[in-house]
């Protein structure tokens, strides 16, 4: 077998392992489905009752925000699972096997794409119940979901890198929460970034999360002519910006995470 064939075969083996794990651990999948539902309902009924937007309902505005919030949060599962495997010595076993070193991380991140699909489906269904609608052409809507999944995949390599450098599940969880909260909330997910004070506005508009949210708002048709798009380049070209961000994250973090994995031992 060539190196590439080996890497693919090993990647498939590890992906199967992760799918089995998801099936056997209902708590993990249950969390991935129910948390987003709770968020949709809370935001729809709590903030949705208070906030008025020109030309569109707040529920339609915030649902893309919740989509992206969920994939950012669930990328933490990638990192958390990796720290657990590291601690239990499973990586020691893998690393003494003649397998491709990239396979473990590829298998983990691909398994997490399935978790994201489950989350997105449950959120979209609940979203439809509370009044969110797709106003665009079907192919645009499909593209919207694909863009989301691509960014989610790229982002899970970021959390994999962080997890492998922090090593313990507890530390990882703390750091990941501290980093991901501002990433989600200092964006256009739930508020109109043009109304933020100066420096915060710049930060929010160049935040990659904002580009992703703007991209899917446009692809799902959840925009309003009465709400002007900010002048920042990523929000003017949100789909391109999202693709560039995803590519950049993959280029930087795939080799970085793989390198850390190769040196990772349980203790």
Partner 1 sequence: MSPAILAEGLVKKYGDVVALDGVDLAVPEGTVFALLGPNGAGKTTTVRILTTLLRPDAGRATVAGFDVVAEADRLRARIGASGQYAAVDDHLTGAENLEMVGRLYHLGVRRSKQRARELLERFDLTEAADRPVRGYSGGMRRRLDLAGALVADPPVLFLDEPTTGLDPRARASLWDVVAELVAGGTTVLLTTQYLEEADRLAQTIAVVDHGRVIALGTADELKGQVGGDRVELTLSRPEDVDVARRALAPVAAGETRADAATLRLTIPVSTGTAALTSALGLLAAERVAVRDAVLRRPTLDEVFLTLTGHQAGEPAKSAKSKEYSR
**Nearer to partner 1 (CB atom), residue 24 or residue 139:** 24
Least separation in angstroms between CB 152 and partner 1? 23
**Nearer to partner 1 (CB atom), residue 4 or residue 225:** 4
| Chain residues that interact with partner 1, rule: CB under 8 A | 1, 6, 9-10, 13, 16-17, 20-21, 24-25, 88-90, 92-99, 103, 265-267
CB-CB contact of 152 with 74 (8 Å) = yes
User: How far, in Å, CA of 191 to CA of 188, rounded?
Assistant: 5
Least separation in angstroms between CB 170 and partner 1? 17
28 phi/psi in degrees, rounded to 5: -65, -50
Least separation in angstroms between CB 33 and partner 1? 18
Which structure tokens are listed for 119?
Answer: 């989350």
**Nearer to partner 1 (CB atom), residue 96 or residue 225:** 96
Spatial CA neighbour of 35 closest among 107, 115, 109: 115
What's 239's DSSP letter?
A: H
Tell me the β-bridge partners of 53. 56
Least separation in angstroms between CB 167 and partner 1? 10
**Nearer to partner 1 (CB atom), residue 12 or residue 203:** 12
Least separation in angstroms between CB 92 and partner 1? 5
**Nearer to partner 1 (CB atom), residue 16 or residue 259:** 16
| Strand runs labelled E in 161-221 | none
**HSE-up (13 A, CA, CB side) for residue 258:** 13
């Amino acid at each position: 077998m060539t190196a590439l064939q080996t890497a693919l075969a090993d990647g498939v083996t590890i992906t199967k392992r992760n799918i089995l794990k998801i099936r056997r651990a209902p708590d993990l999948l249950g969390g991935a489905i129910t948390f987003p539902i709770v968020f949709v309902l809370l935001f729809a009924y709590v903030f949705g009752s208070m906030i008025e937007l020109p030309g569109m309902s707040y529920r339609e505005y915030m649902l893309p925000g919740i989509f992206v919030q969920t994939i950012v949060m669930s990328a933490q599962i990638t990192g958390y699972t990796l720290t657990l495997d590291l601690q239990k010595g499973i990586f020691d076993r893998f690393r003494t096997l003649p397998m491709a070193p990239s396979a473990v991380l590829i298998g983990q991140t691909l398994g997490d794409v399935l978790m994201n699909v489950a989350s997105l489906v449950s959120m979209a269904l609940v979203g439809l119940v509370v009044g969110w609608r797709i106003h665009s052409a079907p192919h645009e809507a499909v593209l919207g979901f694909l863009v989301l999944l691509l960014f989610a995949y790229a982002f899970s390599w970021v959390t994999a890198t962080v997890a492998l450098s922090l090593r313990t599940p507890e530390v990882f969880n703390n750091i990941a929460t501290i980093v991901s909260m501002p990433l989600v909330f200092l964006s256009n997910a739930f508020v109109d970034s043009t109304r933020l004070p100066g420096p915060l506005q710049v930060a929010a508009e160049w935040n990659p999360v904002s580009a992703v949210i703007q991209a899917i708002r446009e692809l799902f048709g959840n925009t309003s002519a009465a709400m002007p798009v900010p002048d920042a380049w990523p929000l003017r070209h949100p789909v391109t910006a999202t693709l560039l961000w995803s590519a950049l994250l993959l280029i930087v973090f795939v080799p970085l995470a793989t390198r850390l994995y190769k040196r990772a031992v349980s203790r």
